[in-house]
Structure 1
């Protein structure tokens, strides 16, 4: 992998992804999103993002998970992307996580108002760090009891939609402020509208898709564009890995 921006020292070196993507040390809460898109902006290939990914993209994903306290993902993405298993401990991040007081692996947090989630899946039953379910006070009572038996439950909001801003604040208040949103596009769009996105990590896949598929944000048009500042740009195997900070 090569670093393009900022320009590395002469002679070049293999960038340390743990340093490139380190969370700011001076903030209580920082939410970054990680998404992949084709060169023409498609966020899915045949209904999922897997067809856009590659080995270098997976390396970046593992680094981002290795640094996070919690990985937020929508229930629809759990189903379409096949989130069958939780995040796992990785040797290369073990010392840094222990020094930071983090558990061996990030917790996955599934966001669902309806709780149409398989609580018997390995995502829940095999989690080293218990999987979190984020829902509302209006969740179906029986499904809520199943969620509580399967792991931690966060109640964010009392209506039919999860209060994402409130959920992020609850996690930060519990000392889990290094947050990673893996989408999908609907969840990310809602996070942006809630004003909680601090950073976007975008992998640009070297392929064209065309069609009318989703972009990385889905939902109503924003009242005003969200301005981004390019912080870092890496490349490998034709992919571009951009780290943008919200201005």
Structure 2
């Protein structure tokens, strides 16, 4: 494999930044997180305290690159997600690549706990996707079917391999997940993560906040990753790791 690229983010224009994150194949699943230097995923329960202008540039570019953005219901609520929108420049980039003008938002909730009247759905430029367990309350799923595509797989909890396959069947081959930690942990345990993009913020948070990968169990076997590049920006280290 080529030597990893080590540069300042400011040295990359938009074309070079998009190229630096080009996925090597279809399908591809990448996860994007921000972490403190000592491993915390949040400050006061939110990731915003770790994030700044520099990593938001990469954050927004990754959204523009994906077919679908998969995020857990807890993160949607905690971070007050609205409709998945893009700047005019990034919408034009997608059109120039032959992609739909906007990617699709997908929300993972075991119990289908998604408000059909939320801004995330109401203001969405493309129909969102609900990923839930097959035995989620039927009345909740029925109330959502007219406004979202539903992937209902797994008993008691989401079957993530089947869920990702369902996204592929809808034509969403480039999957981006922004977590939260529980979703990342489930994707890791299922062996579905091809890429981890993580910004290390120059902050020390101390004990308490969760790590970027959560859940009740660790991995049976560690997954080896390769550093593709590292970008420095305002003291932040923005790393891209791909499956070895």
Q: TM-score, normalised by structure 2?
A: 0.92
Q: Secondary structure at the match of 1:43?
A: coil
1:77 matched to which residue of 2?
Answer: 75
- Cα distance in 1 between the residues matched to 2:87 and 2:159: 32
- What's the counterpart of residue 192 of structure 2? 196
Please state whether the residue corresponding to 1:176 is helix, strand or coil: coil
Match of 2:106 in 1: 109
Task: Give structure 2 stretches of 5+ with no counterpart.
Answer: none
- Provide the alpha-carbon RMSD of the alignment: 1.7
In the alignment, what sits opposite 1:136? 133
Output the CA distance in 2 between the equivalents of 1:67 and 1:222: 29
TM-score computed with the length of structure 1 as normaliser: 0.91
SS of residue matched to 2:30: strand
Distance across 1 between alignment mates of 2:136 and 2:98? 33
Q: Unmatched 5+ residue regions in structure 1?
A: none
Q: 1:232 maps to what in 2?
A: 229
**Higher deviation after alignment, 181-190 or 96-105:** 96-105
Q: Contact conserved, 1:29 with 1:178, CA < 8 A, in 2?
A: yes
After superposition, the C-alpha distances for 1:70-108 in whole angstroms (9 at most, x for unaligned) are 00000111111111x122132222343224442211111
Taking the aligned partners of 1:64 and 1:31, their CA distance within structure 2 comes to 12
Does 2:2 match 1:6?
A: no
- How far apart are the structure 1 equivalents of 2:23 and 2:93? 12
Q: Name the CA distance, whole Å, in 2 between partners of 1:169 and 1:28.
A: 12
Equivalent residue number for residue 201 of structure 2: 205
Q: Please point out which of 115, 122, 127 is paired with 2:124.
A: 127
Matches within 5 A, 1:17-28: 17-24=17-24, 27-28=25-26
SS in structure 1 at match of 2:83: coil
2:131 and 2:47 map into 1 onto residues whose CA distance is 23
The structural deviation recorded for 1:150 is 2.2
Pairing 1:168–2:167 present: no
1:179 aligned partner: 175
